[in-house]
Amino acid sequence: MKFKESENAQKQVIKIHDIQSFTIASESGEQYTLESNYIDQSKNPGVKRVTKFRIFLLVNVKGFATLYKVGDEFRVDRNGTLYLFSYNAGDGSGTANFRYYIKKQGAEYAKLFTYENPVNGFLPDISRRSVVKAMEAHLPEYPELIEQVRSKEIRKIDLTDLFRRYNDFMASSPEQSN
């Protein structure tokens, strides 16, 4: 990858494995950060399938637990809005889906949190049961939030909102300030 620190600077070669993260800024002021991570692709607890190479993941929420969203392709429209696309093979051999990964502070790699499958090109709500199960596995420090999702006190599943609530809780937790 070639990179210039400014428009008039000379191009420098940067090896992709040396890049930890980068931020893309559009002319309209939208900013998107991608971070390089190894990921565990396993859907089964206790089983690890960690990639041998790092992958750039789109940061959705940054904090004690960072939430990443991954698809197959990124596109930016003329207004600077980033869109994430996912495709299936068209022959029935694969399912299009968006994957969400979580990486807690100090973790070696990001782990699969949950995923959503588009139906006829539209994203249905993420399964409440799968989110509760993922929260129990990955966010057990905040059982009240898990119960609010389980009991439908939180009506619409919004992972961005859930991770912001979790990170706010962890930031205010006395155990975390030690």
Among 14-18, 72-76, 105-109, the range with the most confident prediction by mean pLDDT is: 105-109
Q: 25: buried, middle or exposed (CB in 10 Å: 19+, 13-18, 0-12)?
A: exposed
DSSP secondary structure letter of residue 119: B
Indicate whether 92 pLDDT > 60. no
pLDDT of residue 93: 46
Mind listing the pLDDT tens digit for each residue in 116-152?
765 555 555 678 888 999 999 999 999 999 999 999 9
Residue corresponding to tokens 């399964």: 127
pLDDT of residue 84: 61
**Residue 84: enclosing H or E segment and its boundaries?**
strand 82-85
Domain boundaries, the chain: 15-177
Which residue is it, tokens 């980033």? 82
**Residue with token string 């000379």:** 10
pLDDT digits (tens, 9 = 90+) for 27-73: 777 788 889 898 887 777 677 888 888 888 889 999 999 999 887 66
Three-class secondary structure of residue 130 per DSSP: helix
Contact 21, 34 (CB under 8 A): yes
Identify which of 81, 73, 71 has the alpha carbon closest to the alpha carbon of residue 28: 81
